[in-house]
Amino acid sequence: MLMKKERELIVEYGKRLSTTGLTKGTGGNLSIYNREEKLMAISPSGIDYFQIKPEDIVILNIKGEKIEGDKTPSSEAEMHRIFYERRTDIDAMIHTHTMYATTLACLNWSLPPVHYMVALAGLDIRCTKYATYGTKELAENAFEAMKGRKAVLLANHGLLVGAKDLPNAFNITEEIEYCAELYYRAKCIGEPVILPEEEMILMLEKFETYGQREP
């Protein structure tokens, strides 16, 4: 079985997405890229996270061709693949339909630095132009909007996060959803005070050596 460890991590973190309320049903997808072998392990399409087994994880090459697995890969495989092909700092990705980040995405709003934890993913979190799910257009839009960042809001769709490994991608997903909820709640009662760029640049520097999660 190719990428056994990566398959097991995807199964584990898929369940975590459900138990922590970051997704519902079969929504979202996860992947890990083995840069040495140029192979991508990605969750299958349309299977409940608590029913997915390691052998259900699909293995693709960097061109998006199926190498191993009898299941259909996630419909968003191209959106994962494009990052592995073009960015060297991302080896794991998580896409979710979290409530608050998706609420902002449905407004086509970006998430400003309402809290310093936004810096886990960048100076702010941009929102893409809308494109149909599963398309190359969506993949390109996500890649462009996520330049210089580790997260992006997909217009009228959800949240996409990339990191060096799956534990860090999960951590960023949790924190960005938390910041999106803070922004939503603050907007309900007033106008949030947004942190200045110089403070966020300082936070980016501090996060380079703080809070890194290892597998």
Each residue's pLDDT expressed in tens, for the chain with a length of 215 residues: 999 999 999 999 999 999 999 998 888 999 999 999 999 999 999 999 999 999 999 999 999 999 999 999 999 999 999 999 999 999 999 999 999 999 999 999 999 999 999 999 999 999 999 999 999 999 999 999 999 999 999 999 999 999 999 999 999 999 999 999 999 999 999 999 999 999 999 999 998 876 545 54
Q: Which CATH number is 48's domain given? A: 3.40.225.10
Residue 6 designated active-site: no
In a domain, 143, yes or no: yes
Tell me what pLDDT residue 119 has. Answer: 97
Question: What's the pLDDT tens digit per position in 171-211?
Answer: 999 999 999 999 999 999 999 999 999 999 999 999 887 65
In a domain, 76, yes or no: yes
Count up the domains in the chain and report the number. Answer: 1
Report yes or no: 105 and 155 within 8 Å, Cβ to Cβ: yes
Q: What is the spatial distance between Cα 166 and Cα 188, in angstroms, rounded to a whole number? A: 33
In a domain, 212, yes or no: no
In a domain, 58, yes or no: yes
In a domain, 22, yes or no: yes
Q: What is the spatial distance between Cα 162 and Cα 83, in angstroms, rounded to a whole number? A: 8
DSSP SS3 for 153: strand
Host domain of residue 31: 4-207
Report yes or no: 122 and 150 within 8 Å, Cβ to Cβ: yes
Report yes or no: 47 and 26 within 8 Å, Cβ to Cβ: yes
Q: What is the spatial distance between Cα 164 and Cα 27, in angstroms, rounded to a whole number? A: 23
In a domain, 214, yes or no: no
In a domain, 183, yes or no: yes
Q: Which of 37, 55, 76, 199 is catalytic?
A: 76
DSSP SS3 for 44: strand
Residue 111 pairs with which residues in a beta bridge?
125
In a domain, 179, yes or no: yes
